[in-house]
Chain A
Amino acid sequence: MIREALGIAGTGLLIVFLTLIILSLSVKLMSFVVKLTTKKGGK
């Protein structure tokens, strides 16, 4: 059970970090595109 728990915790923490890193990059990209496509970075 300990080994299974280790797997779950490791996978879980990895997915949380990966998801939030990808979200962080997506937000950066979104801001960049908005700035690029609107005058003065949008209303």
Chain B
Amino acid sequence: MHLLNVLYDIFLKTGIPYLDYRYVVMWLIGFFFMYLAIKKDFEPLLLVPIGFSIFLVNMPLAPLTGPGQLINLFFRYGLETEIIPCLIFLGIGALTDFGPMIANPKTLLLGASAQLGVYVAFFGSIFLGFNLKEAATIGIIGGADGPTTIYLASALAPHMMGMVAVAAYSYMAMVPLIQPPIMKLLTTEKERKIRMKQLRSVSKTEKIIFPIVATIVICLLTPDAAPLMGLLMIGNLFRECKVVDRLLKTAQNDLLNIVTIILGIAVGSTMKAEVFLSPRPLFIFFLGLVAFAFSTAGGVLFAKIMNLFLKEKINPLIGSAGVSAVPMAARVSQKVGQEADPKNFLLMHAMGPNVAGVIGTAVAAGTFLSLLK
């Protein structure tokens, strides 16, 4: 009898008696993300840590997310302090070539127009009962920029961070599935065949001065975007000045990889069964899709409007690349363009709006912060 009591006490100290169906549902969601990453190659660098973290934090009694516990510390010091999204921007800046955008600055306007979905989803969220701060956090998914989404969520609606981050990264991974039908619907065969003049080469001096000019303009006009834009531009200066090779390599590789691991684990940890299993995440996923679709349409339609005034026409397919998701959205423009004309090369032209979209989304986030914080 005594032995049975001891065994029962031991049993009560395991997680098994506390396991219910909600935890198992969350495990399945975690497995689904890992499946998408490992089998389908959808954003594996993020979905593997996020998926495993979802699985891990939904282990009953595991001391992981309580105050002062391991993953809680990742979340508190990495995300709540907004350090990690900014460090990711440093890495992105170190990896990004702004040359195509400098060669054709008009494409910055496509980066702005592709933020349309942000504001459409913002409205949609309000109609579905979210408050203004939550609506802004959902809307920014339309920018298709994971770090910016997390940055805004940590400032305006930290309780929604996991859901919006997962929605943003999921849709970014699904760019090749979501965008082409919208692009084809909004353009004619003739428009898709437009060939654009080869971009001029951009000098080293221009590339070095650009991060300084961009920092001055953006930080003066939208000061709340300064943490993201500042780090993006420092990273880009590392890349272009060619004298800080060690810093550049660290920003591009080691630092970016370290913060990506911590980001993935911290984001996944917010998806606990008691928070996630409600109708709200479904609304968020739906609104994220709306945001993404409208952003794609905004970029394509604005390119068509620009063509009414331009002597040298631009191919409207590059407008959809304004949704950030670098470089996947640019590759989609190239692919859809080549379906209409196999000898048309749009990739470099699409990189302009693509990197402009990163700036546009950060500015949109900065504006929300200044208006709502």
A binds B: yes
Interface set of A (CB-CB < 8 Å, partner B): 1-2, 4-5, 8-9, 11-13, 15-28, 30-31, 34, 38, 41-43
Of the residues B105, B108, B216, B371, contact of A12 by C-beta under 8 Å: B371
SS of B interface (majority)? helix
In-complex Cβ contact of A30 among B111, B213, B221 (8 A):
B213
Contact with A along B195-212 (1 / 0, CB 8 A): 000000011111001100
Residue contact B221 to A31, C-beta cutoff 8 Å: no
Closest Cβ of chain B: how far from A19's Cβ, in Å? 5
Distance in angstroms between the alpha carbons of A21 and B107 in the assembled complex? 10
Chain A residues with CB below 8 A from B116, complex form? 13
Partner of A20, one of B112, B122, B126, B135: B112
A23-B218 in contact (CB<8A): yes
Q: Give B209's nearest chain A residue, CB to CB.
A: A30
The smallest C-beta distance from A32 to any residue of chain B, in angstroms, reads: 10
A41 to chain B, nearest CB (A): 5
What's the least CB distance linking B228 to chain A, in Å?
A: 13
**How near does chain B come to A1, taking the closest CB pair, in angstroms?**
6
Residue pairs across A and B with Cβ atoms less than 8 A apart, 23 shown, are A1-B132, A4-B132, A5-B122, A5-B123, A8-B132, A8-B136, A9-B119, A9-B123, A11-B371, A15-B221, A16-B367, A17-B109, A19-B363, A20-B108, A21-B112, A24-B109, A27-B102, A27-B105, A27-B214, A30-B213, A34-B206, A38-B203, A43-B204
Query: Is the CB of B165 closer than 8 A to any CB of chain A?
Result: no
The answer to whether A24 and B126 touch (CB under 8 A), given A8-B372, A13-B119, A43-B204, is no
Q: Shortest distance in angstroms between B63's beta carbon and chain A's nearest beta carbon? A: 41
B360 adjacent to chain A (CB < 8 Å): yes
> Is B173 in the interface zone, CB < 8 Å from A?
no
Q: What is the CB-to-nearest-CB distance from B214 to chain A, in angstroms, rounded to a whole number?
A: 6
How far does the alpha carbon of A5 sit from the alpha carbon of B139 in the complex, in Å? 12
Chain B residues within 8 Å of A28, by CB: 105
Residues A18 and B221 in contact, CB atoms below 8 Å apart? yes
Total count of chain B residues near the partner, CB < 8 A: 42
A8 to B364, CA, bound (A): 11
* B360–A16 touching, CB < 8 Å: yes
Chain A: minimal CB distance from B365 (Å) = 10
Q: A5-B135, A16-B112, A21-B109 are in contact. Are A43 and B203 (CB under 8 A)?
A: yes
B217 in the interface (beta carbon within 8 A): yes
Identity of the chain A residue whose Cβ is nearest the Cβ of B212 in the assembled complex = A30
Known: A9-B122, A15-B363. A20 touches B356 (CB 8 A): yes
B205-A27 in contact (CB<8A):
no
Chain A CB within 10 Å — which of B118, B202, B371 has the most? Answer: B371
Q: How far is the CA of A2 from the CA of B129 in the complex (A)?
A: 11
- Min CB distance A38 to B, Å, is 6
The docked-state distance in angstroms from the alpha carbon of A23 to that of B371 is 21
Decide yes or no: A17 and B112 within 8 Å by CB, A5-B135, A26-B213 being known contacts.
Answer: yes
Smallest CB–CB gap between B301 and chain A, Å? 14
Contact B218 A19, beta carbon cutoff 8 Å:
yes
Chain A, Cβ-Cβ closest to B201: A41
| Minimum Cβ distance to chain A for residue B99 (Å) | 11
Residues of A within 8 A of B89 (CB): none
Residue on A with the closest CB to B102?
A27
Provide the bound-state CA to CA distance between A21 and B106, in Å. Answer: 8
CB neighbours (8 Å) of A30 from chain B are 206, 209-210, 213
Apart from A5-B132, A23-B213, A43-B203, 16 more pairs, CB < 8 Å: A5-B122, A8-B368, A11-B371, A12-B119, A12-B371, A13-B115, A15-B222, A19-B112, A20-B111, A22-B221, A23-B105, A23-B108, A23-B217, A27-B101, A31-B102, A42-B204
Across the interface, name the chain A residue whose C-beta is closest to B119. A9
Determine if A15 and B367 form an interchain contact, defined as CB atoms under 8 angstroms apart. yes
